Amino acid sequence: MAVGQKERLPQLDIFRAIAILGVLHVHATSYAAGVQALDSPYYFILNFANIFFKYGTPSFIFLSSFVLFYNYYERPLDRELVKRFYGKRLGYILLPYVVISIGYFILNQETSDLFAQPVTEHLSSFVRKLVTGSAYTHLYFVFISVQFYILFPFMLKLLQSSRFAVRWAIPIGLALQWIFIFLNKYEWQIPNKGSYAISYLAYYMMGAYVALHFDKIKGWLKASWRQMSSDHKRWTLLLWGYWLIVSLIHVTLWYYGRHEGIWVNSLWYELLWNVHTMLSSLVLLQAAFRLYDQAAPGVVTFLIRLGEAAFAIYLVHPVILLVYRRFRYFIPIDSFTYVVWVWGGLLAALFITWFIVAFCFRYVPFAQLFLGGVPKSYAAAGKFKQRQVTGRARKADM
């Protein structure tokens, strides 16, 4: 390992895999849990999946922050670093966001409106959606990431120069996030507040804090239960115990609101979501390290490959869900078959999208323009197959 080079952590790809599975659960069950199956006798199952797995997007933000501060904190913040940082994000995040937003914007247009309205109106509408992350329902996450990338050099400089900011990073993030929540509820009432980075600042600061203290906690993350000290066992039980309790309360509160019409102050939902998903990020991090060390090799490989493709799957999967939902014929909503059909959408969104993404990465030139950076394993596989084809062609010419 070169001097100053950080240890590579393949466990983070497993984290990404678990996070994208959370996103797919929420999106696959969103229509059923929110609108369509409220009177189903199996509604608790659908609501459980829709709320319990809401850790996906916050976990991605936590991980993004962790990776950035893990890799950049010990480097001097100079013009060259900033130039390379933004150069990479421009090509791998911002450009795919713009390209994929164009695709979803066109997909959302009715054929009659597409040709009836002037081009200038379409352009104005698209620009407005692009700068608010609303070209499609899931693109707000990429829009939030872009905001954090803009802020990152300033936050890096702050944490590099202030021990106070490092020590109190999580409380600072929570305080600013909740000030925004209260102001928005009682004063501003911004309808799409989830499209603004400050709504996730606590996760971002927690990711930074964990990255800066990683040398102290990696022993706990890598240790099996038998290897843990009594203090580590105690903290692990508390973490997982509180996570399960808060998650179940969160699920139950939404069930009574949606199914029974018993709603409470919106701040309770905000608080439970915040605690549930922040604890989820830490639980997922430990679970990823344990799976990497203890799961069967085939399971580890599957999860790592899924994690490598997670961003591209995130971008594309709503198209598969959109098509899948148009093929529900003669399935009663109050039947268990409907529940199976909902999970069929999840499997379709996962595996069909994954196949499309893998195919594009290996065979479609410039796939990174709309899918983001090409994972090394996919790029290597594509080059290997290309060399095989070239080799066969040369033998045929001999």
Can you tell me the distance from the alpha carbon of 352 to that of 346, in angstroms, rounded to the nearest whole number?
10
Q: What is the pLDDT of residues 188-217, one digit of tens each?
A: 888 788 888 999 999 999 999 999 999 999
CA distance 327 to 91: 37
CB 286 within 8 A of CB 222: no
Flag whether the pTM goes above 0.95.
no
* 1 occurs within a structural domain: no
State the virtual CA torsion across 323, 325, 327, 331 in degrees, nearest 10: 170
Count of domains forming the chain: 1
Tell whether 5 is covered by a domain: no
Q: 384, 357, 338: which is closest to 43 by C-alpha?
A: 338
Structural domain for 276, as ranges: 11-397
Residue 386 has pLDDT above 50, yes or no: no
Q: How many helices, marked H, and strands, marked E, lie in the chain?
A: 19, 0
Question: How far from each other are the two terminal CA atoms of the chain, in whole angstroms?
Answer: 43
Helix, strand, coil percentages (3-state) for the chain, rounded to 5, are 80, 0, 20
Cβ 195 vs Cβ 134: under 8 Å? yes
Q: Which of 391, 207, 177, 388 is nearest to 285 (CA)?
A: 207
Encode pLDDT of 45-88 as tens digits.
999 999 999 999 999 999 999 999 999 888 888 888 888 888 88
Would residue 219 count as lying in a domain?
A: yes
Higher pLDDT, 240 or 126: 240
Q: Give the alpha-carbon dihedral of 306, 308, 309, 315, to 10 degrees.
A: 120
Share of the chain above pLDDT 70, in %: 91
Given a contact cutoff of 8 angstroms between Cβ atoms, the answer to whether 370 and 103 are in contact is yes
Kindly state whether residue 295 falls inside one of the protein's structural domains: yes
Q: Per the domain annotation, does 66 fall within a domain?
A: yes
